[in-house]
Amino acid sequence: MAQSSTLQQLQQDALLRADMLNTQFASIPELTRYINQGIRELYEQLCVSSQDYYLSQATITTSNGTDTYPLPPDFFWLRGVDVNLGGQQLFPARRFNWEERDAYKLQGTGWYWDQPVWYDLRGPNIVTLPAPQGVYSLMLWYYPTAPTLSASDDTFDAVNGWDELITLSAAIKLLTREESWDAVDRLKQDYAETKARVQSMSTKRNAGQGPRITDVFRGRTPYRRRIS
């Protein structure tokens, strides 16, 4: 990803699309707010594409007997959780199934290589089942929240010129406040076409191989009672 735009560039492009480049209709704080709203719209579309455009990682160090840990401050969307027992003992944790909540109590305590570890997201925390009986590592693969631009030289990476979606979104909001309904309708059509293009192209980032079925037992000993 290499096509970043500054906040100032995005503001200028939005004003240009709204035909307000040489007017005082929009204040800088208002325009900045609309730009950041557009960034979040594009950011969420790229997250749901499952192509890991903005994937990040954080490591949580566990404490003996503690099952609840705070999520990263910028946490938005979880992609996966790995359990590291040390050395090469690394395996994915499994998502907690609410309908089978009582069955987890039968699995005993502690984390072991041949036994599953589950996780659940509860408010600002991640909860593990069972609680670890030692110091290990949880590796969180997640999408952080979208950046908020404030300084004129702050940048956002819109991948391949997809910042057009951001500027169109801001321009539509400006024209809506001005009640320029014909222009709003015209830009909404442009927005819909651009959004469709982004949705189509963003899912093709990793086109070398198609998705495949995941073997959840690969390299691990099956356990007696399966909870998935």
**Rg of the chain on CA atoms, in Å:** 23
Q: pLDDT tier at 73 (50, 70, 90 boundaries)?
A: very high
Specify the pLDDT at position 137. Answer: 93
Centroid of chain to Cα 74:
10
pLDDT cut 70: percent of the chain above it: 87
Residues contacting residue 7 through CB under 8 Å, at least 6 positions apart: 32, 35, 149, 150, 151, 152, 153, 154, 155, 156
Q: Which residue has the higher pLDDT, 212 or 183?
A: 183
- Beta-bridged to residue 59, according to DSSP, are 139
Summarised one tens digit per residue, pLDDT across range 96-143 is 888 877 776 666 677 888 788 999 999 999 999 888 999 999 999 999
Cβ atoms of 94 and 116 closer than 8 Å = yes
Instruction: Map out the domains of the chain as residue ranges.
Output: 4-51+159-202, 56-144
Show the tokens assigned to 180: 């320029």
**d(C-alpha 144, C-alpha 100), whole Å:** 30
Q: Is the pTM of this model over 0.85?
A: no
Q: pLDDT tier at 225 (50, 70, 90 boundaries)?
A: very low
**pLDDT above 50: residue 221:** no
**pLDDT above 60: residue 163:** yes
Region 33-46 average pLDDT: 96
**d(C-alpha 31, C-alpha 94), whole Å:** 43
Specify the pLDDT at position 207. Answer: 62
**Residue 143 parent element (H or E):** strand 137-144
